[in-house]
A and B are shown apart, each in its own frame.
Chain A
Amino acid sequence: DAGVIQSPRHEVTEMGQEVTLRCKPISGHDYLFWYRQTMMRGLELLIYFNNNVPIDDSGMPEDRFSAKMPNASFSTLKIQPSEPRDSAVYFCASSSWGQAYEQYFGPGTRLTVT
C-alpha cells in the first residue's frame, strides 16, 4: 500500500486566497484525521471522520476552515480566506476500527500564507 497520500506537499499563497489540501487515506481505513502542527501549539486535531461522516470538528479554529469527505478514499481541508496565522504543517492520518488508536500519518502539507 502507498500509505496516506497528501497533496500538495508545499503550498505558498497570499493572504485572502482560498487553499485546498487533499488527502487519500489507506484503503480499508474507516477513520480519517486532519491535524495541524505549529511551533507554538504543537500537534492539534482539527477534525476527524468515521465512515466519511464528521465525528468531532471541535478543533476547527473558525468558520474559515471546512473539511469534507465525499467518499472513503478522499478528503479535503479548505481554508477560505487564508491568513498568515494559518501557516503550519497540516497532516492527514487514517486508521481502521480494528486498530482504532493506531494511526498512519501522511507526509504533511507545509502551508505558508504571506
Chain B
Amino acid sequence: KNEVEQSPQNLTAQEGEFITINCSYSVGISALHWLQQHPGGGIVSLFMLSSGKKKHGRLIATINIQEKHSSLHITASHPRDSAVYICAVPLADRGSTLGRLYFGRGTQLTVWP
C-alpha cells in the first residue's frame, strides 16, 4: 500500500483552464512537498508547506493537516505547465527518518494550446 496517493494519474487540459491535482496521505506529517518533473527529467521543488496555503505565480498549494489532504492548483494553465507533478511527504513517524521523503506516483499533466 502506498501511503501517498495522488489523483488523477493523468490530466489533459486546454490552455487557460484551471487545474487541480490532489494528494492524500495516510500518516501524520509535519510538511508536504510538491515537485515538478519536466519532460527532460529534471525535478524542481515547487512548494513545501505545513499548513494553510502558499502561492507562487499561477501555482497555489493548499494543505489540510486534519484531513491529510493537499491540493495543487494551476490557474490560467499554459502548455509550458505540461509536466509530471509529484507529491511527497516525510514520514517522520518511521523512526529517525527526518527529511526522508515518500513519493506519490505523480500526475502527468498535458496542457494543449
Contacts and interface: CB of A to CB of B under 8 A. Distances in A.
* Pairing of A with B: yes
Interface of A: 31, 33, 42-45, 48, 50, 55-56, 89, 91, 93, 95, 99-105, 107-108, 110
| Band of interface residues on B | 20 to 34
Contacts, number: 56
A100 B98 contact: yes
Nearest to A102: B48
Interface of B: 30-31, 33, 35, 41-45, 48, 86, 88, 90, 96-106
Contacts of A99: 48
17 contacts: A33-B101, A43-B86, A43-B88, A44-B103, A45-B100, A45-B101, A45-B102, A55-B96, A56-B96, A56-B97, A95-B99, A101-B30, A101-B90, A101-B99, A103-B45, A105-B45, A107-B42
A101 B100 CA distance: 8
